[in-house]
Amino acid sequence: MPVIPSGARAAAAAALSAPVLLLSGCGSSAPAAAPRAPGPTGDAAAQRGLARALLTSAEMPLGFERQDGSGAASAIGCAGIDRLYLATGTAARATVSFAHVVSDAFVNETVSTAADAGAASAGVEAFRRAATDCRTFAGAQNMSYRVTALAFPRLGDGSAALRVSGGVRESRPVDLVAVRVGPTVVVIANANSGRVDTELTRTVVARAVEKVRRAG
C-alpha cells in the first residue's frame, strides 16, 4: 500500500504537482490563476501505451512508493520548462509521482509524445535554453526564480538538464531533466527539502529512458 507522505514529504509532493510550490516553502498554496496541464489529446491506445512506459515502484530505487491523487501540474512561468513539463500540444501524455518513505525526496515522471521527432527535438532545445531565457524571472505571486544548467550525461536522441531554485530561504531546489527518444520525451523532476540528490536523478532518468525504449 502506498505510504501517504507527511510533513516535508507532503509539501514536496504538492510541490512537484505544481512546480511553483516547489520553490515557495511548505505553507504556500497554488495560485488560483495558474494554468493547468492540458488533458490527454491522443487516442486511448496511445495514452495506454505511454502509461505502460512509466516507471513503477518496483523499478524505482529502494524506499520509493507511488503517490496517487497528487493533483494537476501548474505552470512555473518559464515557457521552455512549462512546454515539456505540462506536455503542451502533445499527442498523448502520462505521469506518475513517487515519495520516499524515509527521506523527503519526491520524484515525478512525465512521458509525452509529440507529433514527430522534430517537434519533440524543438521542445527539448527550448527546455535547454531556459537556463538562458529564464535565468532569473518572477513567477506567480512575484516569487523570484533562478534556472541554471545542470551537468548531466547526454542520453537518448537528445537531452537537457536544469536546476530550478527560488529566492527565499524556504525554497526547495528541483532537478529537471528532459530526454528525447524519437518523438517521445521523458521529463524527470527530483526535489527534496534539503539538497537535491543528483545521483538519484541520474539513476531515475536512466531507468525511465530505458523503459521508454523498451516500450517503444
Rounded CA-CA distance 60/65 in Å is: 8
Contact indicator for 41, 90 with CB cutoff of 8 Å: yes
Q: Please measure the distance between the N-terminal and C-terminal CA atoms of the chain and give it in whole angstroms.
A: 29
* pLDDT at residue 171, rounded to an integer: 61
pTM metric for this prediction = 0.81
Going from the C-alpha of 213 to that of each of 95, 131, 206, the distances in angstroms are 17, 27, 11
β-pairing, 144-149 vs 92-100, is unpaired
Residue-level pLDDT, tens digit, the chain, 216 residues: 333 344 445 445 444 443 433 443 332 333 333 334 444 445 677 788 899 999 999 999 999 999 886 555 677 788 999 888 888 888 889 999 999 999 888 999 999 999 999 999 999 999 999 999 999 887 666 677 889 999 999 999 999 999 998 766 556 788 999 999 999 999 999 988 778 899 999 999 999 999 999 987
Q: What is the DSSP code string of 145-202? A: EEEEE------TTEEEEEEEEESSTT---EEEEEEEETTEEEEEEEE-SSS--HHHHH
Cell numbers standing for residue 115: 507529433
* pLDDT at residue 168, rounded to an integer: 60
Cell 526564480 belongs to 145
